[in-house]
Structure 1
Amino acid sequence: MKTALICGISGQDGSYLSKLLLTKGYQVFGGSRDAQMTSFTNLARLGIRNDVQTVSININDFRSVLQTLLKIKPDEVYNLAGQSSVGLSFEQPVETLESISVGTLNLLEAIRFSNLPIKFYNAGSSECFGDVGSLAADENTPFRPRSPYGVAKAAAFWQVANYREAYQLHASTGILFNHESPLRPERFVTQKIVAAACRIAKGSYEVLTLGNIDIARDWGWAPEYVEAMWLMLQQKQVDDYVIATGQTYKLRDFIRIVFESVELDWQNHIRIDPVLFRPTDIAEGHANPTKAHKQLGWSASSNVSDVARLMVKAYMNQTV
């Protein structure tokens, strides 16, 4: 039986990854800053709360990380922790940089120091690329991040690459483009849209207020993306991979599909507020996931329409 430690297990990706690893026979440990005070709501929603062993670990504290690794002796460590909102990173840049960059460095250094044969996955982000226009970004596209979140993720990416080359660690970064699910909180725009549309369909008179709806992104289905994470750590040749659908749509397309799913015309229910525009933003995000398809045998099955409808269905069923 393999053992996995997932840092950031209470989030969307950590919860879906836990479920995947449990189906593969893993013993799963979930790390949280204070495991006794964390509700692990997402694990409960997936029906696996009692199947995961939770531990308290602060990845910003090297001693905490090292003690946890030496105690659990995991075969695989998945780093999904850290501040996860691009928008919030403009308000909390220091917390964002420390939780992502310093946390990743502590995990890498603790793995090296422990001398255990641990395979390490790091959650990267398409935000590292910045605004590349219509270019489909791949693993060789230069980074030019346009948010504190993107800057932090870029720093973490290069830390992983450095430790892989300098110390021969089995360490990979998944450069994931946007991936959504019903486990997203409403501070993420996709779930904000889904929740508002469903409430309006049930009789609410609210108006949905949004920022720039002309941004374009590659949106995928989160439960599929965690399989790519696992696949990276099963490879003999260690590498980094872009994970995406390869299809890009504007946010207004996502909005339209969501409202059509509840039989509403979106233009009657939203307003644009320039206050919600970010100081710097990415106009378009395009991805080339060819390498993941060829080397991992992974490709996305769900497109943006599937994602929107699945999120609406889950929200409606949850609130019945």
Structure 2
Amino acid sequence: MARALVTGLTGQDGGYLAEALVAAGHEVHGTVSRPDGGALPPHLAALGPALQVHVADLTRPETLTGLVDEVSPDWLFNLAGASSVGASWADPVGTLDVNGRAVLALLEHLFRRQEAGGSPVRLVQASSGEVFAGAGPDPVGETAPISPLNPYGAAKAVAHLGVGMYRSRGLHASSMVLFNHESPRRPDRFVTRKITKGVAAIAAGRADHLTLGNLDVSRDWGWAPDYVAAMVLAAEADEPADYVVATGQAHSLRDLVAAAFAEAGITDWQSLVRTDAAFVRPADAAVLVGDASRLRDRLGWAPTVDFASMVAAMVRHDRDELS
């Protein structure tokens, strides 16, 4: 069994990954950003002593590199960082610091450590489909041109390119180009969870409308636990590589809204949804869809939950919370 270190433990993906690694019998360490960050979410607290929690702050990369030396993991899953495209416009420099600069510092440390004879660490970096947002409407593969359209994508591109550079220097480093992936653990600030919680509230009679931005934007949405499974496959693989993780199917935000209302038993929903230009991003790809052929062919990965089932699961969770 491997010793794994998961950064961004309390995020959507970090929680699912920690659970999967513990279930597989691995020794699991995870990071939180502050010692006063509060109690762990219930799904992580339930792991008990099987999960060892540490503090690492990406604004101070030395806290993470020091932890690497302390834990000496076999696998390092770097999931921590700023996760919102919209919020990156408010703090582009801060986004670059934690999503780009901190990753370069980590890669350099892993390289120097390995060169000095330290035990090698397999790095799995959480990259993003936003790295290729300007590549056009066709499904995006690993060789598409780097073309971010927002500060979040630009910062992720720095890290993505860094992984490739250090892989060429001998690190077992893989970038997982994660397209949009959702679950009931997605924070409320993301539009998908805003929709499912809003629909649940309308169905319960606690709200009378939902306000959104551009409903015609299309994305490739998948089920978060499936994407975590791809990360584990990359860590286990003999050779490192970049991998697009996606379903290959695009759905509009309008499709997502319709699916959410359908799960709540509401078919005539158009009058319940309002649009507000304030929710439209400064720059956004109209369509962003991924091609996961490499991941499927080399590592045998495939999504297990389709779009409608994903949305339905989120709505059911939010309705249960309200009741």
Q: Which of 246, 249, 252 is the matching residue for 1:247?
A: 249
CA contact (8 A) 2:211 2:273 kept: yes
CA–CA distance in 2 between the matches of 1:87 and 1:200? 25
Q: CA RMSD in A?
A: 1.4
SS at match of 2:244: strand
CA–CA distance in 1 between the matches of 2:260 and 2:320? 15
Greater CA drift, 145-154 or 101-110: 101-110
CA–CA distance in 1 between the matches of 2:82 and 2:301? 27
Task: Give per-residue Cα distances to partners, 1:67-113, cap 9 Å, x unaligned.
Answer: 21111111110100110000000111111110100121122122123
Structure 2 match to 1:6 = 6
SS at match of 2:104: helix
Letter in 2 for 1:16: Y
Structure 2 match to 1:230 = 232
Greater CA drift, 240-249 or 108-117: 108-117
Letter in 1 for 2:309: D
CA contact (8 A) 1:32 1:38 kept: no
Structure 1 match to 2:159 = 156
Letter in 2 for 1:307: M
CA–CA distance in 2 between the matches of 1:42 and 1:93? 32
Taking a change above 3 Å as real, the CA distance of residues 156 and 42 of structure 1, as seen in their structure-2 partners, is farther
Taking a change above 3 Å as real, the CA distance of residues 42 and 162 of structure 1, as seen in their structure-2 partners, is farther
Which runs of no fewer than 5 residues in structure 2 stay unpaired? none
Structure 2 match to 1:21 = 21
Letter in 2 for 1:94: V
CA–CA distance in 1 between the matches of 2:221 and 2:71? 35
- Note the C-alpha offset of 1:50: 4.9
CA contact (8 A) 1:66 1:110 kept: yes
- 5 Å matches for 1:66-215? 66-115=65-114, 116-166=119-169, 168-215=170-217
- Note the C-alpha offset of 1:49: 5.3
Q: Is residue 2:217 matched to residue 1:218? A: no
Greater CA drift, 129-138 or 212-221: 129-138
Letter in 1 for 2:24: K
% identical aligned pairs:
37
Greater CA drift, 105-114 or 5-14: 105-114
TM-score normalised by the chain length of structure 2 = 0.95
- Note the C-alpha offset of 1:27: 1.1
CA–CA distance in 1 between the matches of 2:87 and 2:290? 24
- Note the C-alpha offset of 1:42: 6.0
Structure 2 match to 1:282 = 285
Task: Give per-residue Cα distances to partners, 1:225-257, cap 9 Å, x unaligned.
Answer: 101001011111211100001111111001001
Taking a change above 3 Å as real, the CA distance of residues 197 and 307 of structure 1, as seen in their structure-2 partners, is same
Letter in 1 for 2:172: H
Taking a change above 3 Å as real, the CA distance of residues 269 and 50 of structure 1, as seen in their structure-2 partners, is farther
CA–CA distance in 1 between the matches of 2:296 and 2:317? 29
CA–CA distance in 1 between the matches of 2:100 and 2:194? 28
TM-score normalised by the chain length of structure 1 = 0.96
CA–CA distance in 1 between the matches of 2:200 and 2:39? 26
CA–CA distance in 2 between the matches of 1:33 and 1:271? 37
- Note the C-alpha offset of 1:318: 2.7
Matched pairs, number: 318
CA–CA distance in 2 between the matches of 1:109 and 1:146? 27
CA–CA distance in 1 between the matches of 2:185 and 2:31? 18
CA–CA distance in 2 between the matches of 1:130 and 1:244? 14
CA–CA distance in 1 between the matches of 2:81 and 2:188? 18
Taking a change above 3 Å as real, the CA distance of residues 174 and 272 of structure 1, as seen in their structure-2 partners, is same
- Note the C-alpha offset of 1:316: 1.9
